[in-house]
Structure 1
């Protein structure tokens, strides 16, 4: 396993009417590449206690979230992580949030974009587009 410094954490927050990318300012953080051949990573971020209830909701629901993590230095491009909250620890005015998930490679994202563009050019839309995309992925 390899451990790196977690510099930035953003999570896609989605409700019935909207989807937005929210940044969770880190007091400190680390991210571990499990090196298991499956691209699994664990990230721990120390954030303000004000975010506790959001992360508790994710933990209770067992919801997988799309997170964007910046590793080692601010100038690095964020990596996409599909993760679930595994643990929350209250530490005074802060909370430690442990995320466990799988890193989505940029090649997969690029391939997905090409597949989607191709299907749209073929005239797929709505539910048909979704089904065709799932089959191609």
Structure 2
């Protein structure tokens, strides 16, 4: 296993129309489990104001799309699909442990196919289909 400093964390908030929200980190680390499955563990020390959100995600066993910045703020964020494993309340913060897999080209292909299928099912065609697909497929974190 290899451990790295977590310097940035953004999440896709499904409860807010998929908006990307940057979470202010008090501290954090990310561990490459090196298990051949591209598995990662993330520990984020966050404000207590996020406690109820992460408790809700944990209770629903929901997946989160994370954009994690490792080691240096100017590094390109990596995408990880993760689940909350535990939440620990500390004096001034919460510690959230997440486990997930790095978002790979293969999973991006699956996402693209799902997005396209959903848009075609809505009856979109031509330029409207292309514009909607690009908007959904290539949205980037702020």
TM-score range, shorter chain: 0.7 to 0.9
Structure 1 spans left out of the alignment, 5+ residues: 130-137
Task: Say what the alpha-carbon RMSD is for the aligned residues.
Answer: 2.4
Q: How many residues align?
A: 121
TM-score, structure 2 as length reference: 0.76
Unaligned runs of 5+ in 2: 125-142
The whole-number CA distance in structure 2 between the counterparts of 1:56 and 1:109 is 26
TM-score (norm 1): 0.79
Name the SS for the 1:54 alignment partner: helix
Deviation at residue 19 of structure 1 after TM alignment = 1.7
Q: Please name the residue that 1:65 is paired with.
A: 64
Tell me, what secondary structure is at the counterpart of 1:125?
A: helix
The structure with the largest strand share of the pair is: 1
Question: 1 CA distance for matches of 2:106 and 2:12?
Answer: 19
**Partner SS state of residue 26, structure 2:** strand
Shift of 1:112: 5.7
Report how far residue 18 of structure 1 moved.
Answer: 1.7
Question: Is structure 2 residue 6 aligned with structure 1 residue 6?
Answer: yes
